[in-house]
Amino acid sequence: MSADDAVVNSLQASLKINPVICKILVQRGIDSFEKARNFFRPELSQLHSPWLMKDMEKAVDRVTKAIDQQEKILVFGDYDVDGTTSVACMFQFLQKIHSPLDFYIPHRYKEGYGVSKAGIDFAKENGFTLIISLDCGIKSVDLIRYAARLGIDFVVCDHHLPDDELPPAVAILNPKQKDCPYPYKELCGCGVGFKLITALAERLAMPADTPYEYLDLLATAIAADIVPMTGENRILAFHGLIKANKQPNFGIRALTKLSGLEKELQITNLVFMIAPRVNAAGRMDDATKAVRMFIARSETEAMEYAEMLHHDNTDRKEADSSITSEALAMIMENSDWKDRKSTVVYQPHWHKGVVGIVASRIIEHFYRPTVVLTQSGDYVAGSARSVPGFNLYEAIHACREHLLGYGGHFAAAGMTMEKDQVDLFREKFEAVVAASIPPSLLIPEIIIDSVISFKDIANSFYNILCQMEPFGPEIPALYSWPKR
Ligand SMILES: [Mn+2]
């Protein structure tokens, strides 16, 4: 990584700290005294007003109308960390002021990702007239139209990139909409929900610190959803970590106890403790219990659910490590497979919930684009993972003659095919990857920020590096450093 020497020198002149640290800061875009102050001392007072977000007024009007008229509100979110934490925050907040209230998490395998027809039908059968969708909804044009026909309104809180056609919701909160003036675009789903909570608390004249009760869950969502650790995300994650250590949500406290983490939580511990367990619930069983854990009203109640999550995670780990060893053995046994540019492995009995994780594990051993397949009903389904820099989606697309369906993006994808296509797909995928991947991408890369000498790391060097927490995308480094 490079950094302009003049900028580094001037930053060093104003901060009067170690030049190597100044260089690391400048590499991350922190190139002035002002930016450095905001970076090291993020203040909640610097958060943007929620009212800057397009449709916030409409969203708050609709939710407060539902509260006034005692309408039944359904809080709907996804089965991942961002989804379950958003639902937990919104549900707990509304519970303070409104009781005809429930939440809904779609089942990963029965309903899939995002707003589901089953969820809308559940709302209809149970007399809900307003659904607040969190971390999903922006692409659910047909389903939200279907709900409207049934007399169910939607307020969408999402952060995924909108398509040209928007769903017919009463209000759409999503800073990534082209005409949304909200200044920070990188919020996660839980962050968008937090903005709605902030605006509602303001409208309802609740104490100004009410939304801060949810900062620890929000910090978890920010880190787990891999959004940039910049701007508002950094402020929210910074203060969320303080809350997670001082006065955590009962669910977080229960998981901390079960995981035996006694030291101060850093953002990475928080995520590595919570994310696999919440995701395991969705993969192995049902993520509803993750929400139940986060909204528990006592530590004892939270512990019941934490133990279930812990158990799912133990199952997940066992599945994950046994399937990984089987897959690695298969590669080693096929002398022709070892030296390929790609990996495609298939076993009908592998657990569908972990094939993506297994693909990532295999890449740790055979560093190249990898597909792991298992049987799903009458078909074969699987997940693919790439190595940085290689467009996996394009490669899968090029093999579409062998596929029934596929989807995904640059780094990860999923696909289904007929059983008799597995071998053909393996050969085609290898041919496509071998023809298009530059050899340099097949070698893992380590980014070196700066070469330092022993005298550089004297005094407060390490302490200042630690103060750069929380780390994350765009504020990389130190993931592998020993924790205090
Ligand atoms: Mn999300």
**Ion ligand 1: residues, CB < 5 A:** 82, 135, 188-189, 225
In a domain, 331, yes or no: no
Residues 89 and 178 in one domain: yes
Residues 132 and 253 in one domain: yes
Give 395-440 pLDDT, tens digit per residue.
Answer: 999 999 999 999 888 999 999 999 999 999 999 999 999 999 999 9
CB 354 within 8 A of CB 323: yes
* Ligand 1 mean position, distance from CA 143 (Å): 19
List the CATH number of the domain containing 66.
3.90.1640.30
CA distance 414 to 475: 29
Q: Is the pLDDT of residue 479 over 50?
A: no
Which pTM value belongs to this model? 0.86
Domain boundary among 305, 329, 351: 305
**What DSSP designation does 210 have?**
G
Between the two ends of the chain, the Cα-to-Cα distance in Å is 26
Residues 474 and 419 in one domain: no
Burial 337-374 (b: 16+ CB within 10 A, else e): beebbbbbbbeeebbbbbbbbbbebbbeebebbbbbbb
List the CATH number of the domain containing 380.
3.10.310.30
Q: Is the pLDDT of residue 146 over 50?
A: yes
In a domain, 333, yes or no: no
Residues 58 and 136 in one domain: yes
CA distance 380 to 393: 18
CA distance 78 to 436: 35
pLDDT for position 92: 98
Q: Which structure tokens are listed for 397?
A: 């697309």
Residues 271 and 128 in one domain: yes
Average pLDDT, the chain: 92
Give 92-122 pLDDT, tens digit per residue.
Answer: 999 999 999 999 999 888 887 789 999 999 9
pLDDT for position 1: 53
* Ligand 1 mean position, distance from CA 428 (Å): 33
Residues 6 or more apart from 352 whose CB is under 8 A from it? 109, 374, 376, 381
CA-based diameter of the chain, in Å?
70
Q: Which of 100, 71, 90 is nearest to 136 (CA)?
A: 90
Q: Which structure tokens are listed for 321?
A: 């490590």
pLDDT for position 291: 97
CA distance 271 to 252: 11
Residues 190 and 69 in one domain: yes
Asked which of 34-38, 63-67, 346-350, 392-396 is least confident by mean pLDDT, the reply is 34-38
Q: What is the mean pLDDT of residues 2-18?
A: 86
In a domain, 327, yes or no: no
Q: Which structure tokens are listed for 101?
A: 């209230």
In a domain, 322, yes or no: no
Amino acid type, 330: M
Burial 3-15 (b: 16+ CB within 10 A, else e): beeeebebbbeeb
In a domain, 424, yes or no: yes
Residues 344 and 292 in one domain: no
CB 284 within 8 A of CB 311: no
* Ligand 1 mean position, distance from CA 358 (Å): 22
Residues 476 and 403 in one domain: no
Contacts 24+ apart (CB under 8 A), 387-396: 387/363, 387/441, 387/442, 387/444, 388/441, 388/445, 389/438, 389/441, 390/433, 390/437, 390/441, 394/436, 395/369, 395/429, 395/432, 395/433, 395/436, 396/429
CA distance 155 to 83: 15
The number of distinct structural domains making up the chain is 3
Residues 421 and 394 in one domain: yes
pLDDT for position 245: 95
* Ligand 1 mean position, distance from CA 158 (Å): 8
Residues 285 and 420 in one domain: no
Give 291-336 pLDDT, tens digit per residue.
Answer: 999 999 999 999 999 999 998 898 888 999 999 999 999 999 998 9
Q: What is the mean pLDDT of residues 341-350?
A: 97
Q: What is the mean pLDDT of residues 211-227?
A: 95
* Ligand 1 mean position, distance from CA 304 (Å): 26
Range of the domain at 475: 1-41+457-484
Residues 1 and 148 in one domain: no
Residues 201 and 264 in one domain: yes
* Ligand 1 mean position, distance from CA 414 (Å): 18
In a domain, 469, yes or no: yes
Residues 6 or more apart from 425 whose CB is under 8 A from it? 344, 371, 399, 402, 403, 417
Sign of the four-CA dihedral 42, 43, 48, 51: positive
